[in-house]
Amino acid sequence: MPPGLRQELSRLVFWGLLGIAAGAAEGRPFAGFAAALLFAALLQILRLSRLTRWLGRRTEAPIPELGGLLDEAIREVHATDRASERHKEHIAGLFERLQAAASAMPDAMVVLSQRHVIEWANAPAERLLGLNPRDVGSRIVHLIRDPALSAYLEAGDYREPLVLKGSVEPHVVAVQIIPFGASQRLIIGRDITHFTKLEDMRSHFVADVSHELRTPLTVLRGFLETFKDTIPGADTELAGHLALMDDQVARMGRLVDDLLALSRLETTPAHRHEERVDVARLCANLQNVAGALSGERAHRITVEAAPALLIGNEEELRSAFTNLVHNAIRHTPPGGAIRLLWRADAQGGRFTVEDTGEGIPAHHLPFLTERFYRVDSGRSRASGGTGLGLSIVAQVLMRHNARLTIDSVPGQGSRFTCVFPPSRVTVRAVSSLPPAGTV
């Protein structure tokens, strides 16, 4: 029998016997027994009330001596309290160590609750994103005021990181969002200032070299012209050499122009000088350019254009569309058909150049927009290609939130389509248009 229970029973027996003895002295042993039991019950109530009082403030009150089963209950409660205290300390230590580890990381980490409210941020978040511990409880979009971040958070598509530039100066930070739990999000911000600087230096270097090459090329071209005019008519060998030199100098000129165009697209901010572009008019111009390029090869060039307008940078769009038209002419045999299409609906706008040319095997399609990627290098060079045309197209489309889709069947032809989002297309008739201006 547990000692506590034994103590309780002995106490009851003691009071019972005492009551019987006292009652017997008066000739009423049962009444004495009943009175003793009542007294024992009263004492028990008092002990229970002391126990209840202690339980209520047991963290600061000393442990009372109540004896019997109540002492055993107190010991149990005390042991459970100590175990839960140790557990709490363990969790707090773990949390501190996690916090220290998160702060030792070079990346910023921020936990957002529903509605993008900051729940927790590590120390690098202060350096990279300008968030400090006082910002817990505030909405992140009120502290990092960048429309791109708000749009990114709302869109919910976090497959590609978002690059924050001006809003977290002097840093450039690539932000990756990882959703977790019911509706929480973990933001990881990586400092890419150094990579961006290197990338800028590379772009500027290419631009500078291309620019520097322009002058010597112009001088060479000038001398070649003079030589061509002065060589004796009979010297066909020299004339052949000069024609070859002329071709190569022209090719270098096209390369320099394309490299400069690409680096301009890479180094200037997007969305500048945007206006409502009349694509139908642009298509008519492109048809003339294509006709001139085709010349004696007599391609059949047709245009079908909706009266919808495209919001964008006209120069950039013209350059991208011209590259597609050039490619179609260069890769389509004489007499082939080339169609320019401009369509717009609720899904957005699509500019397509279709040809009945040589086509492209499917395994080349994913790489066509890479710089200097050619399906057939010899043929590309012979037809005046630089290997940069589709890279320029891809870069222009990226600056217009658009994408390029390519369908092609070898031997039958190709279809290059620039797909623009609905936000960039206005389906008003051209005649009801206000004068073009910056949007």
Contact between 313 and 274 (Cβ < 8 Å):
yes
Does 415 help bind ligand ADP (rule: CB under 6 A)? no
Q: Which residue spans within 54-207 are E strands per DSSP?
A: 108-112, 118-121, 162-164, 173-180, 184-191
Nearer to ligand ADP, 228 or 364 (CB): 364
| Sign for the pseudo-dihedral over CA of 148, 149, 151, 157 | positive
Which among 123-131, 212-220, 350-358, 430-438 is the span making contact with ligand ADP, rule CB under 6 A?
350-358
Pick one of 127, 228, 318, 374: the residue that binds ligand ADP (CB under 6 A): 374
One-letter amino acid for residue 396 of the chain:
V
Does 397 help bind ligand ADP (rule: CB under 6 A)? no
- In angstroms, what is the minimal distance from the CB of 411 to ligand ADP? 11
Which among 42-50, 128-136, 304-312, 370-378 is the span making contact with ligand ADP, rule CB under 6 A?
370-378
- In angstroms, what is the minimal distance from the CB of 230 to ligand ADP? 34
- In angstroms, what is the minimal distance from the CB of 363 to ligand ADP? 13
Nearer to ligand ADP, 122 or 323 (CB): 323
Does 279 help bind ligand ADP (rule: CB under 6 A)? no
Cα gap 6→4, rounded to integer Å: 5
196 class by beta-carbon count within 10 Å (0-12 exposed, 13-18 middle, 19+ buried): middle
Which among 54-62, 185-193, 206-214, 321-329 is the span making contact with ligand ADP, rule CB under 6 A?
321-329
Does 368 help bind ligand ADP (rule: CB under 6 A)? yes
Pick one of 36, 112, 164, 375: the residue that binds ligand ADP (CB under 6 A): 375
Pick one of 8, 135, 274, 355: the residue that binds ligand ADP (CB under 6 A): 355
Does 328 help bind ligand ADP (rule: CB under 6 A)? yes
CB proximity list for 321: less than 8 A, separation 6 or greater? 282, 286, 351, 353, 418
Does 417 help bind ligand ADP (rule: CB under 6 A)? no
Provide the 8-state DSSP code for 116: G
Distance of CA 376 to the CA centre of its chain: 35
- In angstroms, what is the minimal distance from the CB of 339 to ligand ADP? 12
Nearer to ligand ADP, 349 or 389 (CB): 389
Nearer to ligand ADP, 102 or 397 (CB): 397
Q: 339: which strand partners?
A: 302, 354
| Sign for the pseudo-dihedral over CA of 265, 269, 270, 276 | negative
One-letter amino acid for residue 352 of the chain:
T
Cα distances from 342 to residues 47, 196, 279, 297, in angstroms, run: 92, 36, 7, 25
Compute φ and ψ for 119, nearest 5 degrees: -100, -35
Pick one of 299, 389, 404, 424: the residue that binds ligand ADP (CB under 6 A): 389
Maximum CA pair distance of the chain? 162
Which among 100-108, 116-124, 182-190, 354-362 is the span making contact with ligand ADP, rule CB under 6 A?
354-362
Cα gap 284→17, rounded to integer Å: 120
108 class by beta-carbon count within 10 Å (0-12 exposed, 13-18 middle, 19+ buried): buried
Does 149 help bind ligand ADP (rule: CB under 6 A)? no
Cα gap 68→301, rounded to integer Å: 106
Nearer to ligand ADP, 122 or 332 (CB): 332
- In angstroms, what is the minimal distance from the CB of 318 to ligand ADP? 16
- In angstroms, what is the minimal distance from the CB of 251 to ligand ADP? 10
Does 344 help bind ligand ADP (rule: CB under 6 A)? no
Q: How many amino acids of this chain bind ligand ADP (CB under 6 A)?
A: 22
Does 336 help bind ligand ADP (rule: CB under 6 A)? no
Pick one of 274, 278, 316, 358: the residue that binds ligand ADP (CB under 6 A): 358
Which among 101-109, 206-214, 311-319, 385-393 is the span making contact with ligand ADP, rule CB under 6 A?
385-393
DSSP string of 339-385?
Answer: EEEEEEETTEEEEEEEE-SS---GGGGGGTTSTT--SSHHHHHHTT-
The verdict on whether omega for the bond into residue 170 sits within 30 degrees of 0, i.e. cis, is yes
The footprint of ligand ADP (CB under 6 A) covers: 323, 327-328, 331, 355, 357-358, 360, 368, 373-376, 380, 385-391, 414
